[in-house]
Structure 1
Amino acid sequence: MIGKGKSISHTGASMSYGWKQEKDAEVVFSQHLAGENPEQITEEFKIIQEQNARCTNNTLSFVLSPTIEDGKKLSSKALKEITEKFLKEMKLLEHQAIGFVHRDQQHTHVHVYVNRIDFNGKAYNDSFIGKRSQQAAERVAEKLGFTTVREVQLEKLDHIKLIRFEIKQVHEKVMAEHRPKDLDRYIRLMGEKDINVVPSINKSNQLQGFRFEFKGHSLKGSEVHRSMSGSRLAIGIEEHAGRGFVKNKDNTVSLLGKATELSGNIAMKVAKKVIVKTIKKGMGIEIG
């Protein structure tokens, strides 16, 4: 579950927009309030807020978002419990508050508006409110057995690891079995395995690397593996192609049917590799 929070000054406008954004927005939590619509609740907030004229951002706005799967199972009663426990964690149970649920786009989330001014006219300390909101939501999720942000992040990390592994496997197979002698052939062979290889061109219109798109993910070559950075990929193709891969005069290669200049970093590394290889051949050293 994700928790977001901030202090706002436009109480009525924000509450009205959120409440009326969805036709069937349902109030799941209310404390120390009698009003039944945004206008009435805003007026009740104002009565208390007038005790502290110095505080301008006098309303706290929170959004509590369970994961999509958790949200599908949550009743109005459960959402009320989540909101109440969250406000308890934030030490806001003695403040006026209203919470209503949105179930739009299959992603259930609760908007919570809390009067920052308490009944004694004191303003709630909103320092690091965003971070504290997330931490409070994490604690509530753990107590109620819901998926926490940390767990979602770990799941994503494991999934990304698998995606990287699959891309690297295909890359290594293409390089070993087909030994592509130019970038276009490499891109075509990867495409046949459902991996879209997209050249990264900088503002100077130079090739600086590639992105790999696979199963909804887009990763830089170096993010997949260091052996797939722009320079290392170019060096690998050059080793298969030999002379003619890079036009030394202007450091260009054939890419997507036209001559494309290599970035200075890639051109330098490819050139160094070629020089080392040439020296070794001249000295009669076998290159493995």
Structure 2
Amino acid sequence: MIAKTTIGADFLGAICYGAGLRVNGKEIEEKSELLLTHNLVSEDPKGMALEMQREAEFSRCKKPVWHTSLSWKPGENPSKEQMIEAANRYCEKMGASTEDHQVVVFQHHDRPHKHVHVYINRAPVGGGKALETSHNYARNVRVCKEISKELGFTKVIRLEAGKMRQVGDHQATAQKVINVAIRNALKQKTTTFEDLERQLIDKGIECKFAMEDGKLKYTSYHYSGISLKGQDVGFSARQLQNLLEENFQKGLNRGNRLKPVL
């Protein structure tokens, strides 16, 4: 099981998509099925979206919409009950208690693999601190691994980070130098793009990291007159961000273990 999360401000558009509704309100036949709700009275998509929007108005949170798609490996066939249990555990493990947050979960039937869409109101019912969004990539990886183990799901295998693409002979040396430099930086528990860039510059490697809404969207490197994209050297933008955030989370965990008891 894997998770992909986006944060937004429009409950109506998000919930209507989850419910399989077109822009004009017409339902896309057999695309979606409502699996569960928490802390909502309405049963129709627009009513649920309105309830969630009104609750968010009592919060200072400018982007209250948390949308996560949970996907299973092609060929894996979790039951409806298992998908509901996975969605509930996901909310709890990410900090959105189903007693304190409004939640809507839809199953979509438009892809070969089983998947559900989880919508959480980051603003808790009755007020309080909004659901934290920092380090979502690393948290999603950890939480999905935990739920997959608890419920017996198969882990979806992605292309291994660090595996290099085929490049031209004139690029091979630069490719290897950049790949090894990034690997070594990650082994040294690097957690930020700034620190990674500093270490690569020390090796004579120029970096370009393009960010959008706090997420790494594009990477490229230049060494000894050769320019290469992040995927060419074995680390896509998403893989690199995940690995840095995993290092950050591991650092926090080590710090917690070493913290003295007062």
Q: TM-score w.r.t. structure 2 length? A: 0.55
Q: Is the Cα contact below 8 Å between 1:4 and 1:134 reproduced in 2?
A: no
Larger Rg: 1
2 CA distance for matches of 1:84 and 1:29? 9
State the match for 1:2 in structure 2. 2
Greater RCO structure (CA 8 Å; 6+ sep): 2
Q: Is the Cα contact below 8 Å between 2:95 and 2:131 reproduced in 1?
A: no
1 CA distance for matches of 2:149 and 2:88? 15
Q: Is the Cα contact below 8 Å between 2:107 and 2:117 reproduced in 1?
A: yes
State the match for 2:94 in structure 1. 90
How many residues in Structure 1 have an aligned counterpart in Structure 2? 167
Flag structure 2 segments of 5+ consecutive residues without an equivalent. 22-27, 177-224, 227-262
1 CA distance for matches of 2:44 and 2:172? 53
CA deviations 1:210-262 (Å, max 9, x no partner) are 9xxxxxxxxx989xx9xxxxxxxxxxxxxxxxxxxxxxxxxxxxxxxxxxxxx
State the match for 2:204 in structure 1. none
CA deviations 1:96-146 (Å, max 9, x no partner) are 100001122312111010111112322122222233223212211111111
Flag structure 1 segments of 5+ consecutive residues without an equivalent. 165-197, 201-207, 211-219, 226-263, 266-288
State the match for 1:35 in structure 2. 42
SS at match of 1:132: helix
Q: Is the Cα contact below 8 Å between 2:40 and 2:51 reproduced in 1?
A: yes
CA deviations 1:49-74 (Å, max 9, x no partner) are 1211x21101211110111122xx22
Corresponding residue to 2:72 among 46, 66, 74: 66
Counterparts in 2 of 1:124-273, with a 5 A limit? Answer: 124-149=131-156, 152-153=157-158, 208-209=168-169
Identity %: 26
Q: Which runs of at least 4 in structure 1 moved beyond 6 Å after TM superposition? A: none
Q: Is the Cα contact below 8 Å between 1:29 and 1:84 reproduced in 2?
A: no
2 CA distance for matches of 1:10 and 1:57? 8
Q: Is the Cα contact below 8 Å between 1:29 and 1:83 reproduced in 2?
A: no
Q: TM-score w.r.t. structure 1 length? A: 0.51
Report the structure, 1 or 2, having the larger helix content: 1
SS at match of 1:5: strand
2 CA distance for matches of 1:34 and 1:68? 34
Q: CA RMSD in A?
A: 3.1
